[in-house]
């Protein structure tokens, strides 16, 4: 697929257009921190960022940098480099890109790592795929082994032995970082950081409440962008400030009755990751009077935290991660979204390189169809590798699906 025919989504919210400058500033500060001899920590998406920020190290989410490469249409050379080393195209394109840019020898936007922190609670493949990077840079590597969340009902029903197991690993991670930085953890700084993370979480939940309004004031096109501080900046003052601005703007739109489309005909739910190289697809639904009201991506990063019990609440948050749980919990959460956001159709993106994204999607589709009679469109592909993407074919699928929804009215 030629990248010339692909484009980024259009954001109607002013605050959403501030994310790219925010991300560039974060990466610039990270490069300066490397020069200043601060510890740069490469991570997987479900590393405990709150703890890393509290310890004054510089966490860099490798998947986020891979997504930036895909958005900027610069990812393919790094994918090809990894494939030349034997990594199959059926594996996660995020991971292939990470291996490619880490081993390319090029000077990139992301500074070289001094330490790597991985975790099993969102991506089991990443635990192994990062080993060549650790060997290349000759750095220490720590893997947080997250116990699987097998109980229904969320954070309140996590078994205490699982919380203790995860918490012990956080304490071990603290000791390792203290040894690398020669600085002890400041307990007051940890409480402050957890407090910022709690504020960030609460602001996002308040924004989500407003998105239930009709017409919808903020779509997945904005969500896919504004979710960034939830990922890499959780636990920072900057994230709190950003989401306060976003909340104020969404409140203003609700007060004015301003929606994403002029005449809202359909309210759609997007399940799964966003196609990074063609985010304009998120706006395409608007041509049919439809709005992608909500996605499930934020559930990866949300979780109530307690500044007075920081490690305990961090353990509960990361164990109860949306993708570290039985499918019954995903079904329950999806049913809540369908009811609360007045959904009449679902778009499900099945990322072929990820078992955790794909696993359970059919069960979710069937459960929603059985209870609500809501149709779903399943789109398969790779969220970052553009080479097999057929833009026109995907848009034809969407057009046919929207025709079917119109006929159901």
pLDDT reported for residue 1? 54
Is the pLDDT confidence value at 2 over 70?
A: no
User: Rounded to whole angstroms, how far apart are CA atoms 382 and 341?
Assistant: 27
pLDDT reported for residue 73? 92
- The values of phi and psi at residue 74, to 5°, are -125, 15
* Of the listed ranges 7-11, 262-266, 343-347, the one predicted with least confidence: 7-11
Strand, coil or helix: what is 404? Answer: helix
Q: Where are the beta strands (DSSP E) in 173-288?
A: 266-271
Which range marks the domain in which residue 238 is found? Answer: 3-408
Q: With pLDDT > 70 as the criterion, what percentage of the chain qualifies? A: 97
DSSP string, 377-407: EEEEE-SS-GGG--HHHHHHHHHHHHHHHHH
User: Rounded to whole angstroms, how far apart are CA atoms 139 and 182?
Assistant: 16
Q: DSSP code of 129? A: H
Higher-confidence position of 250 and 362: 250
Among residues 354, 326, 345, the alpha carbon closest in space to that of 405 is found at 345
Mean pLDDT of 237-252: 98
Structure confidence by residue, pLDDT tens digits, 351-364: 887 777 777 889 99
Structure confidence by residue, pLDDT tens digits, 182-207: 999 999 999 999 999 999 999 999 99
Higher-confidence position of 301 and 173: 173
Report pTM. 0.94
pLDDT reported for residue 123? 76
pLDDT reported for residue 335? 96
DSSP string, 32-73: HHHHTTPPEEEE-TTS-HHHHHHTT-EEEEHHHHHHHHHHTT
Sheet with 141-144: list strands edge to edge. Answer: 58-61, 40-43, 115-119, 141-144
pLDDT reported for residue 314? 97
Is the pLDDT confidence value at 3 over 70?
A: no
pLDDT reported for residue 156? 66
* CA atoms in the 13 A half-sphere facing the CB of 42: 26
Mean pLDDT of 240-266: 97
For residue 293 the two structure tokens come to 């009201």
pLDDT reported for residue 153? 63
pLDDT reported for residue 368? 96
User: Rounded to whole angstroms, how far apart are CA atoms 81 and 132?
Assistant: 13
Among residues 354, 334, 350, the alpha carbon closest in space to that of 123 is found at 354
Higher-confidence position of 144 and 156: 144
What total number of domains does the chain contain? 1
Is the pLDDT confidence value at 296 over 90?
A: yes
Is the pLDDT confidence value at 21 over 60?
A: yes
For residue 195 the two structure tokens come to 């407090």
Structure confidence by residue, pLDDT tens digits, 378-400: 999 998 999 989 999 999 999 99
Which DSSP helix (H) or strand (E) runs through 344? Answer: none
pLDDT reported for residue 359? 76
Mean pLDDT of 123-144: 88
Structure confidence by residue, pLDDT tens digits, 301-342: 899 999 999 999 999 999 988 788 888 888 999 999 999 999
pLDDT reported for residue 26? 95
User: Rounded to whole angstroms, how far apart are CA atoms 157 and 24?
Assistant: 39
Mean pLDDT of 105-122: 89
Q: DSSP code of 115? A: E
Structure confidence by residue, pLDDT tens digits, 43-75: 988 899 999 999 999 999 999 999 999 999 999
Is the pLDDT confidence value at 409 over 80?
A: no
């Amino acid at each position: 697929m030629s990248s010339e025919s692909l484009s980024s989504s259009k954001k109607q919210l002013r605050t959403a257009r501030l994310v790219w400058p925010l991300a560039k500033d974060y990466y610039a500060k990270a490069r300066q921190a490397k020069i200043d001899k601060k510890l740069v920590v490469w991570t997987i998406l479900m590393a405990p960022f709150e703890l890393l920020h509290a310890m004054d190290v510089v966490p860099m989410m490798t998947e986020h940098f891979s997504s930036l490469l895909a958005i900027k249409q610069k990812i393919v050379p790094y994918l090809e480099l990894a494939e030349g080393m034997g990594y199959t195209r059926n594996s996660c394109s995020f991971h292939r890109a990470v291996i490619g840019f880490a081993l390319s020898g090029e000077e990139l936007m992301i500074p070289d790592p001094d330490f790597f922190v991985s975790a099993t609670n969102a991506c089991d493949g990443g635990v192994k795929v990062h080993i060549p990077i650790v060997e290349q840079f000759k750095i220490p590597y720590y893997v947080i082994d997250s116990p699987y969340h097998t109980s229904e009902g969320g954070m309140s029903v996590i078994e205490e032995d699982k919380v203790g197991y995860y918490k012990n690993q956080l304490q071990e991670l603290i000791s390792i970082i203290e040894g690398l930085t020669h600085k002890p953890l400041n307990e007051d700084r940890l409480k402050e950081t957890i407090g910022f993370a709690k504020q960030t979480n609460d602001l996002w939940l308040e924004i989500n409440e407003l998105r239930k309004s009709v017409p919808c004031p903020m779509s997945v096109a904005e969500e896919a962008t504004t979710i960034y501080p939830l990922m890499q900046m959780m636990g920072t003052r900057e994230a709190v400030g950003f989401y306060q601005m976003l909340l104020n703007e969404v409140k203003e739109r609700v007060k004015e009755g301003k929606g994403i489309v002029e005449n809202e005909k359909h309210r759609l739910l997007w399940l799964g990751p966003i196609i990074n190289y063609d985010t304009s697809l998120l706006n395409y639904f608007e041509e049919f009077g439809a709005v992608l009201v909500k996605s499930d991506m934020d559930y990866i990063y949300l979780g109530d935290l307690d500044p007075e019990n920081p490690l305990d609440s961090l353990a509960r948050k990361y164990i109860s991660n949306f993708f570290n749980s039985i499918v019954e919990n995903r079904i329950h959460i999806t049913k809540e979204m369908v009811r609360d956001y007045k959904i009449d159709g679902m778009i499900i993106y099945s990322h072929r390189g990820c078992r955790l994204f794909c696993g359970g999607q059919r069960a979710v589709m069937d459960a929603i169809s059985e209870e609500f009679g809501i149709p779903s469109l399943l789109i398969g592909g790779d969220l970052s590798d553009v080479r097999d993407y057929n833009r026109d074919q995907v848009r034809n699928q969407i057009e046919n699906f929207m025709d079917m929804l119109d006929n159901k009215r």
